């Protein structure tokens, strides 16, 4: 197992709560993390039809077989279990009894918040960070190769071909899971929709345009975007705005939780294709934004991240909360530092004094620059574990 930065928090919360719930995308490493962190606990997969049938038909009898606790994998497959767990842990609130994992966040969150409020800690585990991959000495030398391979653990553990793996991932998990969540009748049309989403990576979400291009209604486009969020395929980054910011953009920006899947959907199969693609800059931006999201979640923080853009096109790519202020990050895929890289940061800081607690530029080059106002960091610096 590649060591995960979230593991100390995971173990600590299991010493404080009777239940710990870990949610995240399929194949993000939830099961591996749970088994490695609690090797003495029985492991139960609710993907197994016989096990699931037992849990659905006789939840009390099912849980009676695990009086000392267990790892219950893909808990959303037995949606009534959290209600029965509630009464069980109310009688015995010993910390660390049950570890629940799930890969459908909205459905599972509803079950957990209704039944286990105050009784469970909740963690979100996304695929590997660049720092985690680097610690296992599995990194790829070039930025393009890094984006193509993405960060799903199996690709790095087994040295798998990312394109083949992502094709299998889409057909095996995405289509199956989404068919369970909603009546997606036309899978070919749905795949076209997801590919169109990949083509809008790093762009403002325009549901009307997306629906028109996909040949579906706008309500269907909204429902499908919600499904992609539910299954941890896409992440919508909200804009930052103030009450006085009437000229600020209000639409979120669209990103994928992993660049390997985005590359596969775009038809990119080699690092050279990635680097030459018109979405090269957007894929790099996607990578940096999701790295920041992973770092926050691994530290037990919320997913609260923002971007800034006004109606005149002035933009800062990423705002990371620091107390009541923000650390601003401008993201540029170019390998040479350009004076334009600082334009958005300078303009924002002059228009909104006191909002920023520093900022920086992350770019696709190899040398850092310790500039007075906005230091420049090469992308490789993300290989270091955040402090």
Burial class (CB in 10 A: 0-12, 13-18, 19+), 344: buried
pLDDT at 121 over 90: yes
Mean confidence (pLDDT) of the chain: 92
* Terminal-residue alpha carbon distance, the chain: 22
Q: How high is the pLDDT of residue 243?
A: 62
- Return the pLDDT at 182: 63
pLDDT at res. 349: 95
Q: How confident is the model at residue 7 (pLDDT cuts 50, 70, 90)?
A: very high
Alpha helices in the chain (DSSP H): 7-14, 30-37, 49-57, 59-64, 81-91, 105-115, 130-135, 143-149, 153-157, 162-169, 175-181, 187-198, 207-214, 218-230, 259-265, 271-276, 280-298, 343-351
d(CA 174, CA 386): 31
- What are 204's strand-pairing partners? 253
pLDDT category of residue 341 using cuts at 50, 70 and 90: very high
Residue 95 DSSP code: T
Answer yes or no: CATH 3.40.50.300 is held by domain 7-124: yes
Altogether, the residues listed in the chain come to a count of 387
For the chain, residues classed under CATH 3.40.50.300 are: 7-124
Q: What is the pLDDT of residue 214?
A: 95
Interatomic CA distance for residues 95 and 298, integer angstroms: 21
pLDDT, position 76: 86
3-state SS, residue 26: coil
Q: What angle do CA 11, 153, 127 make, to 5 degrees?
A: 65
Give the confidence band of 333 by pLDDT, cuts at 50, 70, 90.
Answer: very high
* Predicted pLDDT at 109: 66
pLDDT tens digits for range 263-294: 999 999 999 999 999 999 999 999 999 999 99
Q: Can you tell me the distance from the alpha carbon of 382 to that of 153, in angstroms, rounded to the nearest whole number?
A: 18
C-alpha–C-alpha distance, residues 128 and 188, integer Å: 30
Band (107; pLDDT cuts 50, 70, 90): low
Q: In the structure encoding, which two tokens stand for residue 80, read together? A: 């009534």
φ and ψ at residue 88, rounded to 5 degrees = -65, -50
pLDDT of residue 105: 66
Distance from C-alpha of 264 to C-alpha of 234, rounded to nearest angstrom: 14
Report the distance separating Cα 99 and Cα 265, nearest Å.
33
- In this prediction, residue 163 carries a pLDDT of 94
pLDDT at 372 > cutoff 90:
no
pLDDT digits 0-9 by tens, 290-323: 999 999 999 999 999 999 998 888 899 999 999 9
**pLDDT of 173:** 77
Q: Which two tokens stand for residue 158?
A: 């087994």
């Amino acid at each position: 197992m590649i060591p995960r930065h979230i593991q100390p928090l995971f173990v600590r919360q299991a010493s404080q709560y009777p239940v710990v719930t870990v949610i995240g995308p399929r194949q993000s490493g939830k099961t591996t993390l749970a088994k490695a962190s609690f090797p003495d606990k029985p492991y139960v997969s609710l993907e197994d039809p016989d096990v699931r049938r037992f849990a659905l038909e006789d939840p009390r009898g099912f849980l009676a077989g695990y009086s000392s606790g267990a790892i219950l994998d893909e808990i959303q497959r037995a949606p009534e279990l959290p209600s029965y767990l509630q009464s069980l842990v109310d009688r015995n609130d010993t910390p660390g009894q049950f570890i629940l994992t799930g890969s459908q966040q909205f459905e599972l969150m509803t079950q957990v918040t209704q039944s286990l409020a105050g009784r469970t800690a909740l963690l979100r585990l996304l695929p590997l960070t660049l720092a985690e991959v680097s610690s296992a000495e599995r990194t790829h030398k070039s930025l393009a190769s890094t984006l193509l391979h993405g960060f799903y653990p199996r690709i790095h553990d087994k040295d798998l071909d990312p394109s083949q793996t992502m094709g299998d991932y889409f057909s095996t998990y995405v289509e199956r899971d989404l068919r369970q969540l909603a009546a997606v009748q036309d899978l070919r049309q749905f795949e076209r929709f997801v590919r169109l989403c990949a083509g809008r990576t790093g762009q403002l979400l325009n549901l009307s345009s997306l629906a028109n291009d996909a040949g579906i209604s706008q309500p269907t486009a909204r429902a499908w975007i919600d499904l992609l969020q539910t299954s941890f395929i896409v992440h919508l980054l909200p804009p930052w705005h103030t009450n006085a910011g009437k000229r600020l953009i209000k639409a979120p920006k669209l990103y994928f939780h992993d660049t390997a899947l985005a590359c596969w959907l775009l038809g990119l199969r080699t690092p050279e294709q990635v680097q030459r693609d018109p979405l090269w800059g957007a894929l790099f931006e996607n990578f940096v934004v999701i790295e920041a999201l992973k770092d926050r979640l691994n530290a037990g923080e919320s997913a609260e991240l923002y971007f800034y853009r006004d109606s005149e096109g002035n933009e800062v790519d990423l705002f990371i909360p620091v107390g009541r202020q923000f650390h601003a990050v401008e993201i540029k895929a170019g390998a040479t530092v350009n004076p334009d890289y600082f334009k958005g940061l300078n303009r924002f800081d002059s228009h909104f004094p006191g909002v920023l607690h520093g900022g920086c530029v992350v770019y696709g080059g190899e040398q850092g620059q310790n500039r007075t106002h906005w230091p420049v960091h090469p992308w490789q610096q993300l290989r270091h574990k955040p402090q």
